[in-house]
Structure 1
Amino acid sequence: MADKSLSVYKYMCKYVVGTENHIKTIRLMNTFTDNLSSNNIKVTITSGSFGEGLQMVGSDLDIMLVDTTIDVHDEIKSIVFNPTQTNFALMTEDIKAGFAMLRFISSPNPAIRKICEKFKGSNYLSNALFKKSFLSELCPVLHGPCISDKSGHLDFAHCLHSKYWVTSASQWTMRSNNSWPNESTKQMIIKYGVLFVPIGSKGSNNEDLEWRMSFSVGEKFLIYTFSHTQLLVMHS
């Protein structure tokens, strides 16, 4: 039985998850690459299984590109908006949980209004027009919230960021400190805030105006707390 378990372990390390050192190397490489390709208008985040440090056979490469010139705000009453930034307000009323609409507040960039659509007297950012604005010869394919290359090996998700935790997910912040994750990891996740990816709830009347909340950075923080054995079990 011990020999069989060892054989499975070696197989998983070689063909599925990778060794502990290999995973650490990929994570360090991702951090270096992300930092190198980020600048003052965008932040690059390698996500998906490769972002977790796993080189899964047949998986594509998922990259999130966060536009740092745009701010998404939840509680707007007490906020002084930065005039050099584009500002949107979060609207979640009568919208499926996990999704939101982004109401236009202000922008120094006149092109932003061109990718907004009128709804109930206000301008809202269209996820469809937002995605189409990034289509190129290199990535001409729309694929869910992403734009992809023709081979389907590269997926780029252009997304927006709220620097603060959203009210609709506040219940998670009140979890017991005695449970997983530990308090320091939880605070890291909360401090990062929330991303918004350009895709709406399937079948919604306002599908093209809705944005899905993404906690992929928080999920990565959680994955990083796993031991190598836990990663093996998760992907077995």
Structure 2
Amino acid sequence: MNLEDKNLSFQFYNYLCDIVVSEEVVRTRREIFTAKDIVESNTSVTLLSSASKAEGIYLKGSDFDQMILLKVIRVYESFNNVQYDPYRIILFMDTNDTKPGFTKLKLANELFFDIGIICDWFETVGEEKYISSKRFREQNLEDGMVIHAPCQSTPGGGLDYASCLRCKERISQAQQWISRSRTTWPHDTLATSAVQYGVLFVPIGC
């Protein structure tokens, strides 16, 4: 980088700091949201704040986004990978007749189907039972909240909550992300952590 480009880069950085605030403030805001998620999580759910506010950037019109990870459910990429757990509801992916990046989630053990809330989530197609995106999104919808894409949201869009399910494997559809070209972001440590965590599924509709 030549001197002129370096000076322009510093000017642009200082300009962004005037608009967005300093790096230290952004870092502090991120830490506050991380602490908030840890305190509010429990044995049933893990809370994951996301989007611009959780990243420490408060822009005009920014809403608050939070993912609610349901710990009682575990997703596997295929039925062959399933490891049964008496304390978890096991689902596995079925990508037949789905577009890239989408999947149906099938119930692996129908013994759990007798549980009231589980029965409310599923639809039977032929002899198989799949999670219904519509039913899953609308479960426990509070008064005054509306369905917006995968989220339960306030009418004005100030709050968005998306329930999600975790697969601890890095599924084949997400493998390209691991080796794709990147320069400085995300850092290798963050990328490795993301790969080890697996993937999250959210309901998107029909």
Q: TM-score range by the shorter chain?
A: 0.7 to 0.9
Identity across matched positions, percent: 32
TM-score relative to the length of structure 2: 0.85
Shift of 1:174: 4.4
Count of matched residue positions in the alignment of Structure 1 and Structure 2: 199
1:19-34 map, 5 Å: 19-34=22-37
For the Cα contact (< 8 Å) 1:86–1:109, is it kept in 2?
no
Whole-angstrom distance in 2 between the partners of 1:21 and 1:124: 46
Whole-angstrom distance in 1 between the partners of 2:40 and 2:202: 20
CA RMSD of superposed structures (Å): 2.8
Q: 1:11 to 1:178 in 2, by over 3 A?
A: closer
Shift of 1:13: 1.6
For the Cα contact (< 8 Å) 1:89–1:105, is it kept in 2?
yes
Equivalent residue number for residue 50 of structure 1: 53
Could you give the per-residue CA deviations for residues 62-121 of structure 1, whole angstroms, max 9, x where no partner exists? 111111111111133243211111111111122111111000123373420222112242
Q: 1:22 to 1:166 in 2, by over 3 A?
A: same
Equivalent residue number for residue 134 of structure 1: 140
SS in 2 for 1:99: coil
Shift of 1:8: 5.4
Whole-angstrom distance in 2 between the partners of 1:19 and 1:104: 48
Unaligned runs of 5+ in 1: 201-206, 208-236
Letter in structure 1 aligned against 2:148 = H
For the Cα contact (< 8 Å) 2:92–2:105, is it kept in 1?
yes
TM-score relative to the length of structure 1: 0.75
Unaligned runs of 5+ in 2: none
Letter in structure 2 aligned against 1:74 = E
For the Cα contact (< 8 Å) 1:103–1:123, is it kept in 2?
yes
Shift of 1:152: 1.8
Select between 174-183 and 27-36 the one with higher mean Cα deviation. Answer: 174-183
SS in 1 for 2:52: helix
Letter in structure 2 aligned against 1:20 = E
For the Cα contact (< 8 Å) 2:46–2:69, is it kept in 1?
yes
